[in-house]
Amino acid sequence: MGSGFDFKVSVMWESVPILLTGMKLTIIITVLGLVSGFILGTVFGLMKISRNLFFRKLGGFYVESIRGTPLMVQVMFIYFGLPLAIGMRVPPMLAGVTAIGVNSGAYIAEIVRGAFQSIERGQTEAGRSIGLTHLQTLYYVIWPQALKRMIPPLGNQFIISLKDTSLLVVVGVGELTRTGQEIIAANFRAFEVWLTVAVMYFVMTMSIAKVLNVIERKLEI
Amino acid sequence: MTTTMIEIDNLYKRFGDLEVLKGIDLSVSQGEVTVIMGPSGSGKSTLLRCINRLEEITSGTVTVDGYDVTDPETNINFVRTEAGMVFQQFNLFPHMTALGNVTLGPLKVRKMERGEAEKLGLDLLKKVGLSDKANVYPDHLSGGQKQRVAIARSLALKPKVMLFDEPTSALDPELVGEVLEVMKQLGREGMTMVVVTHEMNFAREVADRVIFMDEGIIIEEDAPEAIFSNPRHERTKSFLGKVI
C-alpha cells in the first residue's frame, strides 16, 4: 500500500489493558445510569397513567422534554450549565451518570407505560374484586406481568444507553471512548485503536443481548 | 326469616350519553339463587358489576349485606370480599399457580399466615375438583379448569354473595358442565348467588328466580319454570324462543 499504512495487531493487543480500565468505567456508568433510569422511568411511567391530571402532565412533560432534546445537549447542560445556576461544580462522573439516568428514564417511562397499559383490564378487575386495594393490585397483579413484557424493550434501551455513554467524552469522563482517544493522542494509531474500542463495545452489547435471550427463554416471553 | 343480602334501589348507570341501566329495583335474600337473562346490551353485566362497584353508580343505591356500596365512607375493598365475582374471561393471574391465585386474597387482604392460607387454598381446590392442579399455571389449564380455579379464588375470601358474569360463555361446550356442577353445588350449600347466564338447565335446576332484562330495565321476573313455560312479555318470549 503506497500510503504506507501497515496494520499492526500488536497495537491492538497493547491498547487492551488501558482500554479495559475505560471499559470498567463505561460499565459502572451504564449500570448506575440505568438503575437511576429504571427508577425514574417507573415513577414517571406510572405518573403518565395515573388518574391524577397533574401527575399525567408532569410525566408527559418529563418524557417529551428529554426525548425531544439531544443527549449531547443534556450532558453539556448538566456539566457546564447547571453549575452556574447552583453555584457548585458537578463532578464529571456524577454529570455522566445523571445524564444517562435522566435520558434513559424518559424512554423507560414509555416502556413502563406501554407495558402496564398492555395488561388486560380484567386483571385489575380480578384483583380489585378479591378486595385488593389499587396499590396492591398494581404491585401483586399488574407489575409482575408488566415487568415480563418490559424485558425485550428494556434490553434494547440498555444497549442504547451503554453506547450513549460514549458521548460523555465531551465532559472528560475516562470511559472507553475517552481512553481510546487518549491512547491515539500518544501513538497516532487511530485505525487499530478505534477498531479495538469498537470490538469492546460490541462485546458488551452482545453480552447484554445474550443475557436477555436467556432471561426471555427462561420466562417464556 | 329471610335476610336481605343485596338491595338495589332505583339504580341508574350511564356511560357518557348512553343510559345502560334505567331504574333497577332488585332485592336478593340470603341463600337465594337469582339468574339474570336478557339479550346482549340489555345491561345485565353492568348491573352485576354495579353490585361490587366495578362500575361507578350514576344514581340510586346498592347495599350488600347492609353496606351501602355507593357511600364513599364504605370500605369498598371490604365489600368486595363479601361479594365474590367470577368473570366470563376467568381473569386468572397468569404469573401465579392455581394455588397462588387462590391464596392471594387470604394472604394480602385477610393477612392470613401462609400455612393457613395454603390449607384453605388446597381445601377449595379440592372442592372444585382440582386438587392435583395446585401447582399448575393457568396457561396449562383448560377453560373449565381455569373457571373453577377462579371460583375457588373468590370463595377464598369467604364471601356472602357470589356474582357470576356469564361464567360459561367463553367455554367450549364440553367444558360447561364441570363449571355448572361446581356452581350448582354452591347453590345447594346455600350460597347467595346472582348469575348472568343463558344456561336454561342451570336456571331450572338451581335458580329460585329468573330475571329477564332488556334495554336497561327488568321487564319480567318469576320462578324458572313459570318464566320458561309461560313468559308474559313479548320480548321475553322472543328471546327465549331464540335461546332454547
Q: Which three cell numbers stand for residue A177?
A: 471512548
B198 vs B187: CA distance, rounded Å:
17
Q: B46, B48, B50, B54: best mutation site toward chain A, by most A Cβ within 10 Å?
A: B54
Which pLDDT score is estimated for A221?
Answer: 64
Determine whether the interchain pair A131/B157 forms a contact, defined as Cβ–Cβ distance below 8 Å.
yes
DSSP A10: H
Contact B194, B83 (CB under 8 A): no
Burial B47-86 (b: 16+ CB within 10 A, else e): bbbbbbbbbebeebebbbbebebbeeeeebeebbbbbbbb
* Confidence at residue B62, expressed as pLDDT on a 0 to 100 scale: 96
- Cα of B85 to nearest chain A Cα, Å: 6
Contact call for A130 and B109, based on CB within 8 A: yes
- What number of other Cβ atoms are within 10 A of residue A181's Cβ? 16
Model pLDDT, residue A173: 92
User: Which tens digit of pLDDT belongs to each residue from B88-135?
Assistant: 999 999 999 999 999 999 999 999 999 999 999 999 999 999 999 999
Q: Which residues of B touch A (CB under 8 A)?
A: 52, 54, 77-78, 80-81, 84-85, 87, 89, 91-95, 104-105, 108-109, 150, 153-154, 156-157
Residue A38: its pLDDT value, please? 96
Question: Are the beta carbons of B77 and A144 separated by less than 8 Å?
Answer: no
Question: CB–CB of B91 and A131 under 8 A?
Answer: no
In one letter, which amino acid is B229?
S
pLDDT value at residue B244: 66
Q: Other CB atoms closer than 10 Å to residue A17's CB: what's the count?
A: 8
Determine the pLDDT at residue A84: 94
Q: What does the alpha-carbon distance between residue A150 and residue A158 come to, in Å, rounded to a whole number?
A: 12
Classify residue A12 by its DSSP letter.
H
The pLDDT value recorded for residue A55 is: 96
Cα separation of A45 and A56, whole Å?
9
d(CA A109, nearest CA chain B) in Å: 23
**Per-residue pLDDT at A16:** 94
Question: What is the pLDDT at residue B1?
Answer: 55
CB contact under 8 Å between B108 and A148, yes or no, is: no
Which has the closest alpha carbon to A168: A157, A156, A181, A178?
Answer: A178
User: Of B94, B69, B71, B91, nearest to B79 (Cα)?
Assistant: B69
Q: What are phi and psi of B147, to 5 degrees?
A: -65, -35
Q: Look up residue B46 and give its three cell numbers.
A: 353492568
Instruction: Identify the pLDDT of residue A219.
Output: 83
Nearest to B109 by CA among A130, A129, A135: A130
Q: What is the pLDDT of residue A218?
A: 87
**Residue-level pLDDT at A212:** 92
pLDDT for res B80: 95
The pLDDT assigned to A184 comes to 95
**A71 and A29 Cβ atoms separated by less than 8 Å:** no
One pLDDT digit (tens) per residue for chain A, 221 residues:
556 788 989 989 999 999 999 999 999 999 999 999 999 999 999 999 998 999 999 999 999 999 999 999 999 999 999 999 999 999 999 999 999 999 999 999 999 999 999 999 999 999 999 999 999 999 999 999 999 999 999 999 999 999 999 999 999 999 999 999 999 999 999 999 999 999 999 999 999 999 999 998 988 76
To the nearest whole Å, the CA of A53 is away from the closest chain B CA by 19
Q: List the B67-68 sheet strands across, edge first.
A: B18-29, B4-15, B59-64, B67-68
What is the DSSP secondary structure assignment for residue A169, as one 8-state letter? G
DSSP bridge partners of B22: B12
Q: What is the pLDDT at residue B95?
A: 95
Contacts of B161 (CB under 8 A, 6+ apart): B5, B6, B28, B51, B64, B65, B82, B83, B84, B191, B192, B193, B194
Say if the Cβ atoms of B153 and A144 lie within 8 Å.
Answer: no
Query: B62 is written with which cell numbers?
Result: 346498592
Question: Could you read off the pLDDT tens digit of each residue along chain B, which spans 244 residues?
Answer: 579 999 999 999 999 999 999 999 999 999 999 999 999 989 999 999 999 999 999 999 999 999 999 888 899 999 999 999 999 999 999 999 999 999 999 999 999 999 999 999 999 999 999 999 999 999 999 999 999 999 999 999 999 999 999 999 999 999 999 999 999 999 999 999 999 999 999 999 999 999 999 999 999 999 999 999 989 998 898 888 887 6
End-to-end CA distance of chain A: 52
Q: What is the pLDDT of residue B241?
A: 84
